[in-house]
Structure 1
């Protein structure tokens, strides 16, 4: 780091000689203020198994910007049952990413029946069995760690959530300690904590145990709900105000969307999923004007599909650029993109600029 000495202080040394002059100089250098550089911005990304080859090529093309890739490869089905998705553990991909200096930290998700994961987390014996199953996964390949994306506990009933919350924190703490003993990293992916959401996550304990806590800062409006933006700068402000009060900033990764939803206006039907690339292609196909919503700073458009009026909200590089100042405000330099292969090329220079 550069240390700056005032010009007048240097002038005062002019008549000094020998060791006394050197001593004064060293004293001034030691007392000079240090100007700290801002923390480096990093980009991580999830790699979806259903578009694995295209996502892998995408990762290699942007390897200079990428810190960690988390292939979406494993699924928990019981305390002892962790299975691989198609293509899980492909050695060519692991070796190719690591050769580029990219960490490979696969994601383990779960889609268990309501209450099943909660039963595992509130049983010390089942928690221990599940930790053992996950350690077998991380030891099966040259992985740099594991990323946990366990979401089915989010809607836990009011009467049960304190025990499930504590059980999940204890489980993560144990798993992270075991991973660290193997010199592996421990990531945990969570939903945002706001005034009305995220009560299931004990951010303080998760942040203390894990190397990275990834906040899925998207789906503010979701497929089964009413149309609207996936995120807003105001929402990011609320998310990060809470997160940075409970978790060290250097451990946070803000999840950024590279996708959107296409709703049928007035219908309760589930919205169609679109990648950012697909959304932009559709906008051009239906000749809808490009527009950024002034409140959310996210792109959206409407069009007719037969007799149905549809509306699309998605995220792109211009929208992301309008959201990143909130990350700077809270000193959070790390981002993680959902997902590789979804984004348009303009996103990468936007993330590089920070």
Structure 2
């Protein structure tokens, strides 16, 4: 093909330029496009005020805040979570030059989301419901975090993947017609995971594709690191082959899990702040795992042994070289006010 006569580096540079132009389009009511930023972050509604103050304190580094504010209940019903749409927060973030792109999540029963995505009529209804959300405030767009799509059964995953790609394509077109941003949040694609996501299509139509690069070891599984540099390498090799690096945001964890050793019970979620406070309380030594570059410790509560794996600024610094290798500069933090405060310096130095 004639395309191959162009050097790979030239193609990469062109892709980055085009994606950057799309992703920083001017927003109505704002003084031009936002300046380049190093970090975006999700703002949890259950810690809203503290997380908002945290965002203001680091406004010079933040490009976009996505308040975790909305939940899809059905094709036609999208409801607000506690504190959703608080104008003081929207206005305060805008005053600092930060885009506000709220997240819409869902926890639908098995099969319910697939039924919406594979029906043209119900997809259209759902797009109208989402547009009503974006019109309800001075938002700069929407971020879709639809995760029940991921465990779609074998017999249906191709139809669901195609339906979701069509849905996002149509939604992004409608959002762009309103001069709004269109973000999509996905789980990692590796050799064994993430097949339901059509990265190429999603990356072509969305302004940002956010990869949740965490939960390598999760609450329902056995203990271990939340992420590793080797895993990041696998994730980014796949993602950057299909999506321009400037459109990608790599999701970084600021949390961990506390497992009961030998138990099949769900692990307990801990923020970095929780984990460090617990480590000091139980007088466990600080240990950075040499393979995963993530901190961990063990302790006993009565006769019950626990192991905790989490992420901090030292671990984040060790993971950033994988992003640089693939030309990915954009990060998104899960979540505001969970994090080691020093992570902000590492993100500023490490981009």
Q: 1:137 to 1:41 in 2, by over 3 A?
A: closer
- The 5-angstrom pairing of residues 201-350 of structure 1 reads 201-350=197-346
State the distance in 1 between where 2:133 and 2:75 align. 13
Contact 1:77 1:110 in 2 (8 A): yes
On the 8 A contact 2:72/2:78 being kept in 1, the answer is: yes
Is contact 2:218-2:226 (8 Å) kept? yes
Cα deviation per residue 1:98-120 (whole Å; 9 max; x = unaligned)? 00000000000000000000000
Shift in alpha-carbon separation, 1:41–1:234, aligned structure 2, 3 A: farther
Pairwise mapping of residues 1-354 of structure 1 onto structure 2 (< 5 A)?
Answer: 42-354=38-350
Rounded to whole Å, the distance in 1 between the matches of 2:214 and 2:85 is: 28
Question: Matched residues in 2 for 1:159 and 1:242: separation?
Answer: 24
Aligned residue in 1 for 2:28: none
Separation (CA, whole Å) in 2 of partners of 1:333 and 1:263:
33
Q: Could you list the per-position Cα deviations for residues 328-347 of structure 1 after superposition, in whole angstroms to 9, with x for gaps in the alignment? A: 00000000000001012111
Query: Which residue does 2:6 correspond to in 1?
Result: none
Kept in 1, the 8 Å contact 2:37–2:63? The answer is: no
Name the Cα RMSD after superposition. 1.2
Give 5+ residue unaligned stretches, structure 1: 1-37
| Partners of 1:207 and 1:313 in 2: CA distance | 32
Report if aligned partners of 2:69, 2:83 keep a CA contact under 8 Å in 1: yes
After superposition, give the CA deviation of every residue in 1:230-276 in whole Å (9 maximum; x if it has no partner). 00000000000000000011000000000000000000011010000
TM-superposed deviation, 1:71: 0.1
1:41–1:333 contact (8 Å) kept in structure 2: no
Shift of 1:41: 5.8
SS of the residue aligned with 2:288? coil
Work out the number of aligned pairs and report it.
318
The CA distance in 2 between the partners of 1:295 and 1:109, in whole Å, is 33
1-side partners of 2:45 and 2:210: how far apart? 19
- Structure 2 CA distance, aligned partners of 1:237 and 1:41? 23
Could you say which structure has the larger radius of gyration? 1
Mapped partners of 1:150, 1:200: distance in 2:
12
Moved runs in structure 1, 4+ residues, more than 6 A? none
Q: C-alpha distance in 2, partners of 1:345/1:41?
A: 18
Residue 55 (structure 1) shift: 0.2
Instruction: Determine helix, strand or coil for the equivalent of 1:277.
Output: helix
Contact 1:127 1:171 in 2 (8 A): yes
